[in-house]
Each structure stands twice: as C-alpha cells, then as structure tokens.
Amino acid sequence: MIRKILLVAQTVRYLKLKQIIYQLYNRLRPQRNLDWYIGKIKKQPEYNSLLFNLQVDIQEDIITPGNSFTFLNIKHTFDAEIDWGYQAYGKLWNYNLQYFNFLNQVNITVERKQQLINDITNSLKNGKLKLEPYPVALRVLNEIRFFSLQKQAEPQSIKSLYGQLSYLSSNFEYHLLGNHLLENAFALLMGGVFFNEQKWIDNAMQVLKAELDEQILNDGGHFELSPMYHQIILFRVLELVDWYGKIENKDDAFLAFITNKAGNMLGWIQNVSFNNGDIGHFNDSATGIAFTTNQLLSFAKELNIIPNRQLQLKESGYRKYTANNYECVIDFAEIGPAYQSGHGHADALSFILNYNNLPVFVEAGTSTYEANQIRYYERSTAAHNTVVIADSNQSQVWGAFRVAERAHTRIISETANAIEAKHDGYLKRYGCIHKRSFVLNANSVSIVDHVRAKTKDVNRVAYFHFHPDINILRTDSAFNIKGIGTVSFKGSLAITTEAFTFADGFNKTRSSIAIKVSFTDTLETLINFDN
C-alpha cells in the first residue's frame, strides 16, 4: 500500500495543475445522457456539407453481415442488438466500435450505415452508452464526412450530431491534454463549420493554435514521441487542410499555420521512417492503426503540401543513420511530455535496425493497452534494445498509462556517424549512470555501453531483440545472423538467449529470440554486415 501511494505521488507531481483541477471537476459534475443535450436544441439545426478531396475509403471488412465487427485483430459477433459499450476485449476495442470508422467502408450500404448511426444514437439517448469525449470526437469526424458526402441526412441524425458536439464543446479533455485534446478540437472545428456555430469555431481554433505550437516540436515530431500517434495527428492536420481550405470566409492565416505544421510533420515522419515506409515501434506504436507514412505522403501530394526536408531530427530525441544496406533509428528521447507520459516506454538509448528493408533488431512492441502483465512487459526496459540494471526499469512505468520516476537523457557528443548519450534512470536507486555510444560505419555498427555503479554486485544486462523472421546461430565467438552478418561482444560475463513475445499488431503476437549479455563496467557490441 505504501509503495502504491508513493507511485501515485511521484506520478501526480509531473501533472499540470490544470489536469488535476479537471480530474476533480469531471468527477464532481453531473454526467448527462445525449437526450439531455438534444433536449436543449430549440429548433432543427441547419448545416452545410463540407467538401473532401482526400479519399479514406476502407477496403477491408471492419463490419460484416450479422453484426460482426473486427477491431485490433479481434472479431466479435453480437447475437441480437449491438452492445455499443461492450468491454469484453478491453476499452480500446470498445472505443474502436464507437469511432464509426466503418462509415468509410466501401462495401456497406448507405442504409446500413444510417441504421448503425440510429442504433448508437438510441443507446446514447437512453444512457446504455455513456458519452465520452474521445470516442465522441472521432465519431463526429466520421459522421460529418459521411453526411457531407451523401449530401443529405435524417433530421434526427443531425440533431444527435449537434447534441454530441454540444457535449464535446463543454467536455474537452483538459485532464489528459496531449493527442486527446487535439482530437477534441479537430472535431469541434469541423462541427462548428458544419453547423455554422462561431463559438465552437473560435474555441477550437484557439485550442488548435496553442496545442499544435506546443505539441509539434521544432524538428516536426509530435511531443508524445510515438511514431504511430504522430501519423494519427498528421492525418488529422492533412484532413483539416483538405476541407478547411475549401470553405468560404476561411482564415487564411490559420490555413497557412496548419499547412506549415503539416509540412514539418511530414518532414519528421520521412526522417524517422525506414526506406520501406515502416516506422520503428518506439513507445506505443503498432501496425495497422494509423495511415502509413507512404499513404500520408500521398495525401500531402494531393494537397500540394511539400514535406519540410530542411528539418533535421533533434528535439524529438530520435536519430536515424543510413549506410549501404542498413538503417538504424536510435531513441535518445526522454519519456515525454512530462505531464502526459501515458504512451511512453522505459526505453532510453534503445535502437531498431533494418537490413535490406527488412527488420532485424526490433523491440517487443505494443499489443495491448490493458493494465496487465503483457502491458507492463511491453513498456519495460527489458522489452527494448538497451541495458537493464538490477532487473528493474529505467523509468517507473506502472498501470496501463502511468509513469512515476523517469529517466532523463542527454546527448554528450554527436558527429555525422557517431553519437554518445547517457541517462540517469538508475542513479537514485543504484548510484549509476548508463552511458552508450554508437559508431555507424558503412558495413558495421559499434555500440559501447558503460555503466559504473557504487557496488560491484549490481546486475547489468544488455538486451538485443531479433525479429521473428531472423535466424541466429551461436558460434564460439559470435552469433551468425543468417544472410545478414554477425554480432559479437567484448567484455561480457555471460551470454544467453531467451524467447520473447513480439507484438505484430494489437492482440497479435509471435515468438522470437533475444540475446542477453551480462557485463560489469563496459560492454562492446559489434554488428558486422556481410556486404
């Protein structure tokens, strides 16, 4: 109990006062159903359809006949009526059910889509499904796109949509901030223009200007430091440029502002993505959730937005090196931002490496957001290609989205093909600093880990995780990586291998192999490539 209290206290101290106030406020104020918000509407709302050029058609079957839904690689069939609050597969699966992304699925009739809208509206009105800002925001964006493309809508659906926006306008997620607040504002701005509600427009634009300035770093990266969430927010910015640029009486300065942000974000995702278009699964990132880098670049081309290639990776803490047949992305970032660290992992000084456009060194990745042992492992230091001290984490990740004490990183030196950095995540507990350097040559990568501790008996273990499709074979002095090269170690005390579970998407895992190397003060790792 005392340990839990300390964890909570160490976590809360990083929050903004605004977050704490809104946490309390949200718990104390009355929670109302959609029927209450619809009841406040004095006359049938008038609306103007928006114009969209970007096509976001979904070809795969999210929903199939018989009330079957597939999200996060889990399929479920509802026997009779749809339970829009269904929680058997966790909150994220349920949120996906509520997002209504399937309104973009091409092989569902308009009538069926309208039926589903009516069905969830009834659940929201009678209180079977509670209003929540995040799924409301994403559903609003999908419904406005749907109604605009159809150029017609049932009056009751329009009332429901207006009521949801009324709820959203007074329920921004200031207790969370980060990407949630951005989604709230994207939705309210679209809804404000759709219904010509100037108060909503002004509020949303004010939030978007302030938050995009804070959340998009100077090197173009999103400050939660998840490549996947960067892709999600980048699409929202591109979508905003698309429809907002076509309305009458638009604010040209605001349009220029979001277009500039889009260019910077495109530059970052290009810089951090591998040549095959894949992203490294740093922090909370997974396959199959966001539009890919190549899709986003295609959207940007349609909008005549040019990625800002003048920006170099810097403030986000990531670095990428390319030489001959390999690419290596290294994470020198702190968990960030301090007040919204829910999508962060204890992964300082980790790296991911592709060879000939195929993943070789990977991280365990992200397969769940549920507060269980899988989630704890995937956020742990041992799930990443870095050094673990005393079988503990650099940063105290706990729960599903919590971080108490966290490691602080600093880059010591940097040249064109070499970089050295350190973090202090183990300093308070074990009196040691982890320092790591990389030298990236045409056909090799040298990694030197240096850890000095006050006591010699502190266990130090470096982890190297391989993609499931990679075959390794141990020899007397090294490991052969079939078709790629070798990895060898100098200064090791013991070298072992162990199985780990690799996340190939949410709720989709494969077994793979990691090398564990224990050492005293210094470990030298050399990765040699065949050509």
> Reduced to 3 states, what is the DSSP secondary structure of residue 483?
coil
- What is residue 359's predicted lDDT score, i.e. its pLDDT? 98
Helical residues (DSSP H) of 67-219, grouped into ranges = 91-99, 110-126, 133-150, 155-169, 178-195, 198-215
Query: In angstroms, what is the C-alpha Rg of the chain?
Result: 24
The DSSP element (H or E) to which 362 belongs, if any, is none
- Tell the burial category of 109 from Cβ atoms under 10 Å away from its Cβ (0-12, 13-18, 19+): exposed
As a residue count, the chain comes to 531
Q: Which of 66, 236, 250 is nearest to 134 (CA)?
A: 236
- What is residue 187's predicted lDDT score, i.e. its pLDDT? 98
Amino acid code (one letter) for 113? K
Average the pLDDT over 275-280 and give the result.
96
**Cα 37 versus chain centre, distance:** 32
Residue 229 pLDDT more than 90? yes
Q: How confident is the model at residue 446 (pLDDT cuts 50, 70, 90)?
A: very high
Residue 204 pLDDT more than 80? yes
Q: Which of 343, 336, 356, 209 is nearest to 274 (CA)?
A: 356
Task: Decide: 464 and 487 in contact? Cβ < 8 Å.
Answer: yes
Q: Which of 157, 179, 391 is nearest to 289 (CA)?
A: 179
Question: How far apart are alpha carbons 227 and 345 in whole angstroms?
Answer: 13
Q: Is 73 left (phi over 0), alpha (psi -120 to 50) or beta?
A: left
Q: Which of 72, 64, 105 is nearest to 88 (CA)?
A: 72
Q: Which of 373, 471, 356 is nearest to 364 (CA)?
A: 373
Torsion (CA) 497, 499, 503, 504 in degrees, nearest 10: 90
Residue 371 pLDDT more than 90? yes
- What is residue 66's predicted lDDT score, i.e. its pLDDT? 86
Q: Say which range, 192-196, 268-272, 427-431, has the weakest mean pLDDT.
A: 427-431
Average the pLDDT over 19-30 and give the result.
93
Percent of the chain with pLDDT over 90: 94
Residue 531 pLDDT more than 90? no
**Residue 67: phi, psi to the nearest 5?**
60, 40
